Amino acid sequence: MRTAKPLSPPSERRRARRRITVRADRARLVRVCQFVGASAAATGFDERTSHACQLAVCEAVENVIQHGYQGEAGEINVTVETTPGALTVEIADRAPAFDPTRYPVDPDAPVHESRVGGRGILMIRRVMDEISYERRGPQNVLRLTKNQPFSGV
């Protein structure tokens, strides 16, 4: 007798996962942006929310290139998972351990030139609805989730 395959819940059926691997090279940031933009469109996000996600992910990837690998050769895996209304982006690298969720950022601190870098982390926190970090063996894994529309700060 044949049994019907149980159906997964609707959200599972519409879940998609895609990944790209880029060199730790600033010239690859545009590719990451395009990848995130296309993925954000698949979730049904509006243009403004999609742009905010691209900005946050590019800031995170740029931090890995600049402060993680520091000019050394390396790779960065960017994995996106989309469901209707939610985008999760996982950024994995093999640079020395760095946890951006614990980096102190004071939005009201006076702006000094050298500290503008910390602004990138502030941008990530302000855009994303959930942020988590994990050191997985030799890898930094930063997980960013957007599940609400972005309508300004």
Partner 1 sequence: METSTQVYQRVAVLSVKGRVDSTSASDLEAALKKLLDEGRTNLVLDLSGVEFLSSSGLRVLVTTLKAVRKSAGDLRLAQLSQRASDAIDLAGLDVLFKTYEDREAAVASF
Tally of CA atoms within 13 A in the half-sphere of 4 that contains its CB: 3
- 54 or 88: whose CB is closer to partner 1? 54
Q: How many residues does the chain have?
A: 153
Q: In 3D, which of 146, 8, 151 has the Cα closest to residue 82?
A: 146
3-state DSSP assignment of residue 75: strand
* Chain center to CA of 59: 9
Residue with tokens 């690998």: 69
- 33 or 131: whose CB is closer to partner 1? 33
- x/- contact string, 31-70, with partner 1 (CB under 8 A)? --x--------------x--xx-xx--xx--x---x----
Residue 29 within binding range of partner 1, rule CB under 8 A: yes
- 15 or 37: whose CB is closer to partner 1? 37
The tokens describing 57, both together, are: 């992910």
Residues that bind partner 1 in the complex, under the rule CB under 8 A? 26-27, 29-30, 33, 48, 51-52, 54-55, 58-59, 62, 66, 107-108, 111, 113, 116-117, 119-120, 122-123, 126-127, 150, 152-153
